[in-house]
């Protein structure tokens, strides 16, 4: 691997995998950090080298950062995300990394008394990067459209419905392909115009889950129902799925934040940076239709 590569953490996840793909399409040299060096997710991408990375293991961190110039920093949604970020930034400084693009969340800068736990942790992680003095960009994105695939596709396929404690909250859902496109712009820019900035990234419209269900119905050619469930029922459902208690509490907090209207804002950032309008939920539903059938 030559010098000057880009390290992508969380490389096999929803956002990370798209960042790797789009960077590869640009001909960039990428180190894709995964739990196992034998991961074959990117076997067809010649410019990608898979490296093992354990956030808590300094040995794997040092190896992963060798020859790295820029870092796309994405940590898993866990209570330890601040510690993970601290470990990554510490190693980035040792390795002489020149620029960090962090995947954050819209609302990370909200007042602590109203911000859900994940947002407060993202802001703490952002501050670690700021204090490192490494040039940075924060990508504060809204809820992913792809979460409909990740979390609701099974029940849509088997029951024609999805169950969410979201009430009538309007959310400016964003397609991760747009997030990745902005990340690539930042990571490949040579004029420093993204440095020191926090980009709020949203879709072009704020939809309720009921409206999302109508769009899915139209694109799939079958009726899809949104069932608004109570927090209690949502907790039980997630627990039955084996989800971690911290994750369950965080998800409930995030939906309460959304129901208070904090995720309905629409940002012009995608079009300003990429020159393209944000991918619509209708296009997303059509592009991913096979996942729901």
48: nearest Cα among 70, 31, 25, 69: 31
Q: How many CB atoms neighbour CB 285 within 10 A? A: 22
59 has a pLDDT exceeding 90: no
Q: Confirm whether 255 is domain-assigned.
A: yes
Look at residue 181 in the predicted model and tell me its pLDDT: 98
251 plus 191 within the same structural domain: no
Chain mean pLDDT for the chain: 94
Give pLDDT, residue 45: 87
Residue among 74, 97, 70, 96 at smallest CA distance from 85: 74
In a domain, 270, yes or no: no
Does residue 103 sit in the same domain as residue 233? no
Q: pTM for this one?
A: 0.95
Task: Classify residue 225: in a domain, yes or no.
Answer: yes
Provide the residue range defining the domain that includes 130: 5-142+175-201
Same domain membership, residue 179 and residue 159? no
Does any domain span residue 269?
no
Same domain? 193 vs 279: no
The whole-angstrom separation of Cα 261 and Cα 81 is 26
Query: What are 105-130's pLDDT values in tens digits?
Result: 999 999 988 899 999 999 999 999 99
pLDDT band at 56 (very low <50, low <70, confident <90, very high): confident
- 1: pLDDT strictly greater than 90: no
Q: Per the domain annotation, does 254 fall within a domain?
A: yes
CATH classification at residue 72? 3.40.50.720
My answer on whether 101 and 157 are in the same domain is no
Structurally, how many domains does the chain consist of? Answer: 2
pLDDT above 90 covers what percent of the chain?
86
pLDDT of 4 reads 63
Asked which of 6-20, 38-52, 139-153, 270-284 is least confident by mean pLDDT, the reply is 38-52
Residues 288 and 157 in one domain: yes
Q: How many CB atoms lie within 10 A of CB 21?
A: 16
Q: What is the pLDDT of residue 36?
A: 82
With b meaning 16 or more CB within 10 Å and e meaning fewer, what string describes 32-43? bbbeeeebeebe
Same domain as 21, residue 40? yes
């Amino acid at each position: 691997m030559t010098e000057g590569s880009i390290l992508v953490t969380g490389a096999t996840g929803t956002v990370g995998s798209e960042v790797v793909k789009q960077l590869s399409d640009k001909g960039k040299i990428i180190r894709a950090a995964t739990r196992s060096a034998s991961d074959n997710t990117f076997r067809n991408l010649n410019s990608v080298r898979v490296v093992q990375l354990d956030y808590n293991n300094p040995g794997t961190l040092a190896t992963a950062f060798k020859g790295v110039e820029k870092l796309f920093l994405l940590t898993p949604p866990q209570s330890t995300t601040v510690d993970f970020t601290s470990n990554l930034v510490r190693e980035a400084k040792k390795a002489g990394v020149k620029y960090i693009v962090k995947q954050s969340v819209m609302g990370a800068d909200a007042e602590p008394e109203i911000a859900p736990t994940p947002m407060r942790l993202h802001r703490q992680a952002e501050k670690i990067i700021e204090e490192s003095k490494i040039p940075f960009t924060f990508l504060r994105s809204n809820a992913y459209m792809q979460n409909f695939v990740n979390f609701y596709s099974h029940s849509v396929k088997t029951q024609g419905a999805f169950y969410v404690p979201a009430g009538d909250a309007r959310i400016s859902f964003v397609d991760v392909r747009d997030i990745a496109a902005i990340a690539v712009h930042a990571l490949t820019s040579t004029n420093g115009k993204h440095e020191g900035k926090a980009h709020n990234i949203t879709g072009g419209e704020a939809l309720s889950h009921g409206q999302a269900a109508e769009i899915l119905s139209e694109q799939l050619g079958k009726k899809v129902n949104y069932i608004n469930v109570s927090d209690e029922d949502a907790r039980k459902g997630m627990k039955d799925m084996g989800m971690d208690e911290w994750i369950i509490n965080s998800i409930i907090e995030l939906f309460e934040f959304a129901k208070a209207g904090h995720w309905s804002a629409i940002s012009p950032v995608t079009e300003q940076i990429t020159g393209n309008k944000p991918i619509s939920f209708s296009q997303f539903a059509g592009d991913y239709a096979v996942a729901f059938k």
